[in-house]
Structure 1
Amino acid sequence: MSGSPVRPTTHVARHGLGHLRPKLHFSPSAGFMNDPNGLLHDGERYHLYYQFAPGPLAVHGHICWGHALAEDLYHWHDAPTAIRETADGQAFSGCALIDHRNDSGLFAGPGPQNIVAIYTRHRDGRQNQWLAISQDGGLDFEEPAGINPVLDIGSDSFRDPKVFFHAPSGRWIMVVALARAHRIGFYGSGDLLHWQALSEFGPEGMLGIDYECPNLVELDIEGGGRRWVLIISINPGAPQGGSGSQYFVGDFDGERFVPDPQGLRLLDAGKDHYAIQVVEGLPSDQATGIGWLGNWQYCQEVPSEGWRGVMTLPRGLGLRRDWMGGLSLVQHVRGLEPLRVPIARPRIDSSLMPDQPLTDLDLPVDAAVELLLRFHLESLPTAPPGRGGRLVLCFGNAQGERLEIGYDAASHQLWTDRGELRGFSHPFFSQRSAIALGPDRREVRLQLIIDGCSLEMLAQDGEYSMSSMIYPAAPLDRLAIYVEAGQAGFGQLELNRLQSTLTRS
């Protein structure tokens, strides 16, 4: 006898869903959004293209390229659909670039206005790579007659090209996912129209069902030097469940990527970070990525008022030597400084009783908030057997909902717990995530940003990342900080309101 199916549920209080709409993170005005595509700085402004399914149902299907513009990666303005679904298929993920030298021969001549998009067309079990050009500053694209597809290997799982110019070899490089084969293909071209196979990478690391959305970028190492980083997203099959992203550090000679023997690394330890893409057109020391906050296990079922999908804030990218001697990806949120409005800088007395909050602060319910925290935590001899001191941040409301973020001194682990939020329930919507910060990390540095239904958390100056979607039934308007079985010293505790940059109903 079979039981009743488990169904996702949404419990919304009298507040409706307005409190879930981000004020800072980009989300579509309506419809469904997933992967960022064609992230580009054209010398004057940023372009954010993205996978977009229009329509009131806000679910995946009939995919085209949505488009937004900004001068600073925050104040986004909607633009018309850039690449549409056609009889040749849906417009799946891809990239945008500037053909400065007119290598393609598709423009009137060289110039910074020569914007090219390369992307996957998907139709009837066939996936191949197409090229379109824009002659109006990236607002609208046309597919020149007689050239497409520019790359077709007769596959039904061949997608998500990312193209960049590799100066040492003097040619364009495409990295593209042979998704079901768990391989990344490397192709070279002199004109963006004719592509030669160079090499393949994989299967390596986490395999899951499909490889998707590869990126290859050369990043600065703190203290000097540069190395190549290959980012691969997988879906499903990530350690957290569903979709996730991994990266490899190594060398690229213009033809082949060879990873270091340190093995794979997770790009984010949370449940909801996927398909990061690096912005094209920025100086090499300003590498910046934007990812999609979501998980394919439940992204089409989360609470909605006609829209679904949120992007991460822009993250600067680099590399740092970690405690094991390997190189770890470092991420830091770019450009927040002019948006900060201080709310509180409380002085904390950590000698208070463990069952009393060290501080209890009001939170604005109409804006994103940022918490900057630096603390040193030691366990007390009276700590219960098998565990150490813990510092707990509790974001709550009068309805009894709690979002808990904490650090355990004995295991050096950071955790999030969204299990006591009542706005969404789903069998795959895992309540808890955790990550180990390495041995002897009793001093912890955290940056938390809560904005509508999104939580981004960076630890140890960006060496660790944990991103989660959160769905309280009512706004979270209180923050309490507790220390359990430990003694904490605070070097920094700053709570900031972040000015709204995105107007949405």
Structure 2
Amino acid sequence: MGLQDLEHPLVHLTPPHGWLNDPNGLWYDAKDELWHCYFQHNPDSTVWKQPICWGHSVSKDAIIWDYKGLAIVPPDSDGGVFSGSVVVDNRNTSELFDESTDPRQRVVAIWTQDADGIQRQMISYSMDGGYSFKDYAHNPVLDINNSNFRDPKVIWHKETGRWIMVVALSQKFEISIYSSKDLIHWQYESGFAVRGFKGLQYECPGLIKVPLLDANGQEVKDTKDNWVLYISINPGAPQGGSATEYFIGEFDGKVFQPRDNQVRLMDLGKDFYAFQTFYNTPNDKDVIGMAWASNWQYTNQTPTSQYRSCLTMLRKLHLQKLQITPEYSEINLFSAPLWDQDSLVNLAPPKSLTPDAPLLPNHGLNINLDQGEGLLEFTWEWSVQDKLVPKADFCGITMFLKDQETSNQFLSLGFEANSSAFFLDRGNTGSHFTETNPLFTRNLSADLTPYRTFQGTSIYKVHGILDRNILELYFNDGALAATYTFFYLENRPIRWVHMESSVNDVFKIKELRFTELAIKSPSKTY
């Protein structure tokens, strides 16, 4: 892919051609220091179509991805290789490896075979560090004769010295928990059923221990470990279509027990599904994962020609107390993008507005960008004079992102103070897809609490990464996240930012800084 190919994002994993959906088998290779990502893939179609295989990409920095082709393919008569996970069996509990394979690269994939109307759990193993796989001779390793039994995610539970699998009985709305000493013989332990948003089905579950941090970023030594069970649902998400929800609780190796009855969404955007965490992160404590950046409502029709769909950037997760109201706080999942700035180059000095710049109706503020290749990072912090908000029916601050000052194609995002909500309008990009697809929701929103308050002033903050046709937003230091795709009629970089307010004296810009970025080595960017 060359720099003129503005259809592919720069730092979000895509296939060079063909179809992509769920991330699968995420793991970190400690020997070669590589991130491995497998994904649902059909290189010969740009819509979901059998045979579905596992595509494979690797990255040194989680920014530039090197596509390695197909890793696991189904036999001609055996349907699709559906979603699953990877572990590193460094203890050789499976007895599938000999001394010739480095313990750090004893890779075992656990995946769902979809064939003959039944879904079964299979394993494959790799003798070359995850580039090619051999099917276990006595597959399947788990078969309950069910047509909707899929997406196994396996972890090592060191407290009990066993492998733990969570797998979805999708249309029974149950996450089944199994244990094993060897990855081959599995015992049912418990089920987590009919909780949260059910949608039409549960998919792509995961169970992971997540560190609890205080406000200074230091780990809190709680009396019990904090576990997060995440589940993807489709259709039936609150935003429409697909979403990923999560529960916070405790896990003893057999039963996951949520600490409260609340269900929370991992991402408030409309393009975040099938989240999965990496096995064997570099320091063994960081919780890092990625998701599919699309929605089943419209993914087969999105206006890209060579490929369809990308994955989100890697996100690092932690738990932290969040002040919801002045009288109530709760533990919440925080996220932040994980990216290596050493792999990127600033195309121009960052452009910013003067702090405390007032915004007045009909007198907007502008930032002109210079070298854009389609990758922007921005930080936007603004204050609201709360006592003045009720004076206007619509009390909003809006940012318009265009390829030039005179363009009538733009992305607009902002904040409406009466409702304390961030909004995005992706309906003015000029794409016919926006006009013709009724499920590609034009106007989207996310409710926000203030980042901080001071003497009648509320302050809000968002960190954004815009990569050609995807926008990832992290509000209030990651307390909330929202992922959105959008499609301009012509794939041209954004070169002009315009800020305006609907009312006088309510809003001030505390910080608005845009940085235009490019990758240093553009030869491998899928």
Corresponding residue for 1:33?
A: 20
Which of 32, 42, 53 matches 1:64?
53
Which of 454, 458, 466 matches 1:450?
466
Q: CA deviation at 1:60?
A: 3.3
Provide the identity percentage: 33
Between 425-434 and 495-504, the greater mean CA deviation after superposition = 495-504
Corresponding residue for 1:173?
A: 164
Corresponding residue for 2:279?
A: 280
Q: Label 1:351 to 1:380 Cα distance change in 2 as closer, same or farther (>3 A).
A: farther
Corresponding residue for 2:195?
A: 204
2:262 and 2:370 mapped to 1: Cα distance? 41
**Cα distance per residue 1:200-224 (max 9 Å; x no partner):** 0011000111100001111111121
Which SS does the other structure have where 1:499 is aligned? strand
Which of 334, 345, 349 matches 2:352?
345
Q: CA deviation at 1:18?
A: 4.2
Between 24-33 and 423-432, the greater mean CA deviation after superposition = 423-432
**Cα distance per residue 1:263-300 (max 9 Å; x no partner):** 10011111110011101101343211111100011111
Q: Label 1:158 to 1:304 Cα distance change in 2 as closer, same or farther (>3 A).
A: same
Matches within 5 A, 1:318-329: 318-323=318-323, 324-329=328-333
Q: Label 1:322 to 1:352 Cα distance change in 2 as closer, same or farther (>3 A).
A: closer
Contact kept in structure 2, 1:80 and 1:139, CA below 8 Å = no
Corresponding residue for 1:229?
A: 228
Which of 482, 485, 493 matches 2:500?
482
Corresponding residue for 1:430?
A: 441
Q: CA deviation at 1:490?
A: 3.4
Corresponding residue for 2:511?
A: 492
Q: Under a length normalisation based on structure 2, what TM-score does the superposition of the two structures give?
A: 0.88
Q: CA deviation at 1:379?
A: 5.1
Corresponding residue for 1:42?
A: 29
Q: CA deviation at 1:334?
A: 1.1
Q: Label 1:336 to 1:262 Cα distance change in 2 as closer, same or farther (>3 A).
A: farther
Which SS does the other structure have where 1:420 is aligned? coil
1:246 and 1:218 mapped to 2: Cα distance? 16
CA RMSD of aligned residues (A): 2.0
Contact kept in structure 2, 1:413 and 1:434, CA below 8 Å = yes
Corresponding residue for 2:400?
A: 394
Between 321-330 and 124-133, the greater mean CA deviation after superposition = 321-330
**What stretches of structure 1 of length at least 5 have no aligned partner?**
1-16
Corresponding residue for 1:405?
A: 413
Between 454-463 and 87-96, the greater mean CA deviation after superposition = 87-96
1:352 and 1:188 mapped to 2: Cα distance? 58
Between 357-366 and 250-259, the greater mean CA deviation after superposition = 357-366
Matches within 5 A, 1:2-17: none
Corresponding residue for 2:217?
A: none
Q: CA deviation at 1:78?
A: 1.1
**Matched residue type, 1:330:** F
Between 82-91 and 176-185, the greater mean CA deviation after superposition = 82-91
**Cα distance per residue 1:174-210 (max 9 Å; x no partner):** 0000000011000000000000000000110001111
Matches within 5 A, 1:89-108: 89-108=79-98
Contact kept in structure 2, 1:176 and 1:185, CA below 8 Å = yes
Contact kept in structure 2, 1:173 and 1:186, CA below 8 Å = yes
Corresponding residue for 1:335?
A: 339
**Matched residue type, 2:414:** G
**Matched residue type, 1:417:** D
Corresponding residue for 1:139?
A: 131
Contact kept in structure 2, 1:19 and 1:365, CA below 8 Å = no
2:260 and 2:46 mapped to 1: Cα distance? 46
**Matched residue type, 1:360:** I
Q: CA deviation at 1:378?
A: 1.9
**Matched residue type, 1:34:** N
Contact kept in structure 1, 2:400 and 2:412, CA below 8 Å = yes
Which SS does the other structure have where 1:419 is aligned? coil
Q: CA deviation at 1:330?
A: 0.4
Q: Label 1:381 to 1:95 Cα distance change in 2 as closer, same or farther (>3 A).
A: closer
Contact kept in structure 2, 1:378 and 1:409, CA below 8 Å = no
Which SS does the other structure have where 1:112 is aligned? helix
Q: CA deviation at 1:37?
A: 0.4
1:196 and 1:351 mapped to 2: Cα distance? 63
Which SS does the other structure have where 2:350 is aligned? strand
Contact kept in structure 1, 2:50 and 2:79, CA below 8 Å = no
Q: CA deviation at 1:454?
A: 0.6
Between 370-379 and 431-440, the greater mean CA deviation after superposition = 431-440
Q: CA deviation at 1:504?
A: 5.8
Q: Label 1:490 to 1:415 Cα distance change in 2 as closer, same or farther (>3 A).
A: same
Between 353-362 and 213-222, the greater mean CA deviation after superposition = 353-362
Corresponding residue for 2:240?
A: 241
Contact kept in structure 1, 2:59 and 2:65, CA below 8 Å = yes
Q: CA deviation at 1:142?
A: 0.5
Q: CA deviation at 1:133?
A: 0.4
Contact kept in structure 2, 1:393 and 1:405, CA below 8 Å = yes
Q: Label 1:490 to 1:399 Cα distance change in 2 as closer, same or farther (>3 A).
A: closer
Corresponding residue for 1:368?
A: 375
Corresponding residue for 1:459?
A: 475
Corresponding residue for 1:4?
A: none
Which SS does the other structure have where 2:105 is aligned? coil
Corresponding residue for 1:313?
A: 313
1:418 and 1:364 mapped to 2: Cα distance? 23
Q: CA deviation at 1:496?
A: 1.0
**Matched residue type, 1:162:** K
1:379 and 1:448 mapped to 2: Cα distance? 25
Contact kept in structure 2, 1:268 and 1:464, CA below 8 Å = yes
Q: CA deviation at 1:262?
A: 4.5
Contact kept in structure 1, 2:124 and 2:136, CA below 8 Å = yes
**Matched residue type, 2:516:** R
Q: Label 1:382 to 1:53 Cα distance change in 2 as closer, same or farther (>3 A).
A: closer
Which of 183, 194, 197 matches 2:185?
194
Q: Label 1:265 to 1:382 Cα distance change in 2 as closer, same or farther (>3 A).
A: closer
1:418 and 1:80 mapped to 2: Cα distance? 33
